[in-house]
Amino acid sequence: MTLLAVEGVDARHGLLQAVRDVSLELAEGETLALVGANGAGKTTLLRTIAGAHRPAAGRILFEGRDITSSPAHKRVRSGITLVPEGRRLFANLTVEENLALAARAGRPGPWTVAAVLETFPMLEPLRRRRAGRLSGGEQQATAIGRALMTNPRVLLLDEVSLGLAPVAVEGVYASLRTLIERGTTTLLVEQDLNRALSVANRVACMLEGRIVLEGPAAEMTREQVVDAYFGLGRTRRNGGPA
């Protein structure tokens, strides 16, 4: 069942067109990795889906309903939650306070502070520490946990591994795999191709605002994705050479 659909979306920053006629579908329980170089339009697309950026054209459908004009807070209550690049935690609040605050913006569901701390065991001993005093990996785990507290139907993750030490990336991805195994529907923006391919059911590659390669992760080689990533040769949406 298609849970989220993006149809012919354009998005601009002033005169700059960051997203060009993008169409994507995300099925319930699926993990789609969105990859591409800096400036490819990935973050703008995620923000557009989340309601933080207004599209210039196209539609966004959630459970078949057109939510293109819905504000971000209504999308959160419907079940679409974004973990933004840079995490953006409340630095002066504790881990537990950051989590509890997010619950007010979301919808009823199974995710509680206790459930998040069980999924991210690194946070249990840090629950009363201020977020501004956490390491990068601990902040990322808190940011994902905060998003889960809204009980999302679709979890949008922007640059999970950006700026983190390798050991921190390992910890965050271990917890992310747990979420995916539980069937959390996820759209993941990631520059680390190996990480993206290791967790995703499908992969879509953006180049200059467009989707230039899309298909099942199991049917793609790393070389195909790299070629699309850097715009080498011609590609098509279901993978492989044109």
Whether residue 141 has pLDDT greater than 80: yes
| Average pLDDT value for residue range 236-241 | 47
Residue 171 pLDDT exceeds 90: no
Q: Which of 225, 234, 240 is nearest to 36 (CA)?
A: 225
For residues 87-113, give the mean pLDDT.
Answer: 91
CA torsion angle 1 28 80 203 (round to 10): -110
Of 92-96, 112-116, 153-157, 164-168, the range with the lowest mean pLDDT is 164-168
Q: Is the pLDDT of residue 242 over 70?
A: no
What angle do helix axes 136-148 and 95-103 make, rounded to 10 degrees? 20
Instruction: Output the CA–CA distances (angstroms, integers) from residue 93 to 42, 89, 98, in the order listed.
Output: 30, 8, 6
Q: What six digits make up the tokens of 155?
A: 């979890």
Q: What is the mean pLDDT of residues 226-235?
A: 77
Question: pLDDT higher for 158 or 236?
Answer: 158
Q: What is the mean pLDDT of residues 62-73?
A: 96
Q: Which two tokens stand for residue 33?
A: 């990795």
Q: Which two tokens stand for residue 119?
A: 């999924």
> What are the residues whose beta carbons fall under 8 Å from the beta carbon of 172, sequence distance 6 or more?
137, 140, 141, 144, 160, 161, 164
Q: Domains in the chain, ordered, with CATH?
A: 2-229 (3.40.50.300)
Q: How far apart are CA 132 and CA 7, in angstroms?
A: 39
Q: What pLDDT is recorded for position 235?
A: 47
Span between the terminal Cα atoms of the chain, in Å: 29
Q: Is pLDDT above 50 for 6?
A: yes
| Residue 234, pLDDT above cutoff 70 | no
Ranges 95-99, 181-185, 238-242: which has the least confidence: 238-242
Contacts 24+ apart (CB under 8 A), 115-123: 115/148, 116/145, 116/148, 116/149, 117/145, 119/145, 119/148, 119/175, 119/178, 119/179, 120/144, 120/145, 120/175, 122/171, 123/95
> How many whole angstroms separate alpha carbon 147 and alpha carbon 113?
11
Q: What pLDDT shows up at residue 190?
A: 87
Pairing of strands 185-189, 31-35: parallel
pLDDT at position 59 is 98
Between CA 114 and CA 61 the distance in angstroms is 32
- 241: pLDDT confidence band, cut at 50, 70 and 90? very low
Residues 13-36 pLDDT 10s: 999 999 999 999 999 999 999 999
Q: In 93-114, which positions are buried (b, 16+ CB within 10 angstroms) versus exposed (e)? A: ebbbbbbeebbeebeeeebebe
Percent of the chain with pLDDT over 90: 70
Rounded to 5 degrees, what are φ and ψ at 152? -75, 150
Query: What pLDDT sits at residue 233?
Result: 59
Lowest mean pLDDT among 16-25, 63-72, 189-198: 189-198
| Of the candidate ranges 2-16, 39-53, 98-112, the one whose mean pLDDT is the lowest | 98-112
Going from the C-alpha of 10 to that of each of 16, 23, 176, the distances in angstroms are: 11, 10, 30
Mean per-residue pLDDT over the chain, rounded: 91
